Amino acid sequence: MNSNLKNKFDSIIFDLDGTLWDSTVTVANAWQKAKMEFDYVTNDITPQDVQGIAGMAYDAIFEKLFPYLTTEQRNEFKARCAKYELEMLNEHGGKLYPDLKPTLADLATRYKLFVVSNCQCGYIELFLTLNNLESTFAGHQCYGTKSQPKYLNIIDIVQDHNLQNPVYVGDTQGDLDSSSKAGVPMIFAAYGFGEVNGEQISNIERFSDLQVLL
């Protein structure tokens, strides 16, 4: 772990799924509930399926998992999944990674904190509300807001908040590709869902490593 990153950044932009929490079980249950209402959806949805598409844009997820559906069927099913996803997350939540809250509280004393995720509208807000983290983060952006690629959402956060030296923390190759395209260096969360092959500036094995690293 590179330990020479202190005092180099003014802000931290976080991915959500696989970086701040693991909601795969609840999301899979929500999508499976939706699946039971549509006879044209033939495959079951497991937590492993949800983990495997983590980091993808919301529309692309359903194109990958349900390629046999027509566009109309896919959109109808996706809308029901999105509805049940927020409802069930509101009831059951997701699993925060160990020491997340105290680590964020410490980081927030030195950095502006943000979230950028490829999720639907309402998902980040639900995460923040469920875990009493609204005041910890200075802003957030998601795919559902403008239906644009993650790298553009990262750029929006940087520009909207006049960030001079941000760093991104994510857990997938898509995160690394997006942060690189946005011109923001990335710290790889090795405990998350994916693997990376590229130029991340450091790896962390647990979320609390950020307190030492930054």
The CA-atom distances, in angstroms, between 36 and each of 9, 31, 136 are 47, 9, 38
Residue 2 pLDDT: 57
Average pLDDT over the chain, rounded to an integer: 94
- Cβ-contact 185, 163 below 8 angstroms: no
**For the whole model, what pTM was predicted?**
0.93
Residues facing residue 116 across a β-bridge: 141
Is 169 in a helix, a strand, or coil? Answer: strand
pLDDT in tens, 121-159: 999 999 999 999 999 999 999 988 888 999 999 999 999
pLDDT at 209: 96
Decide if pLDDT at 3 tops 70. Answer: no
